[in-house]
Amino acid sequence: MTNESQSAARESTLNNRIRNVIGWLERVPYTVLAVPLRLAVATIFWNSAMTKLADWNAALQLFREDYRLPLLPPELAAYLAVSIELSTPVLLVLGLATRPVALLLLGMTTVIEVFVYPQAWPTHIQWAAMLLVLLCRGAGKWSLDYLIDKRFGTVANSESRRPVV
């Protein structure tokens, strides 16, 4: 065997291994990917709520001075924000109402980006990417959405009806 044919054989073996790894990765079920997405987004918003609740007076002051939102009084905006940040993480962890929650949090992320921290777009685009996946694909099979869909045939989670590509 010549050096050229040995090199071609090694390259072919490497290409086959790469294809095998890619094939294995592409077979990972969406459900396995959805769980860390749900937990990651839940953690972001839960931690924000805990920070506000740790010093509610400071949080109110931020909404009065720094987080000025159009059309909403600062106190109402603070209560709305912390209510969303407390309730949506619980729903995401349970995988309950995942799509509406993702849509709500995308809206909240947009408000934060536009009116509060426009310079933080690299962080917000990461949040938006995770939320868009959850909005488009749902919570996955390890969720209450899936159990409700399985029991009542709702459109809570379409993973069971989606054709495998």
- Report the C-alpha gap between 25 and 27 in whole angstroms: 5
pLDDT < 70 stretches in the chain: 1, 155-165
- Residue that has been written with the tokens 């749900």 in this structure: 38
Predicted pLDDT at 26? 96
Predicted pLDDT at 1? 65
Predicted pLDDT at 68? 87
> Cβ of 114: how many Cβ atoms within 10 Å?
12
Predicted pLDDT at 148? 95
Containing 146, the helix (H) or strand (E) segment is helix 144-152
Predicted pLDDT at 153? 84
Contact call for residues 91 and 101 (beta carbons, < 8 A) = yes
- Quote the mean pLDDT of the chain: 92
Q: Tell me the domain boundaries of the chain.
A: 30-152
- Report the C-alpha gap between 104 and 45 in whole angstroms: 12
> Cβ of 118: how many Cβ atoms within 10 Å?
10
pLDDT digits 0-9 by tens, 55-101:
999 999 999 999 989 999 999 999 999 999 999 999 999 999 999 99
Contact call for residues 78 and 63 (beta carbons, < 8 A) = yes
Q: What is the pTM of this model?
A: 0.85
Query: In one letter, which amino acid is 75?
Result: E
Query: In one letter, which amino acid is 136?
Result: C
* H helix and E strand count, the chain: 7, 0
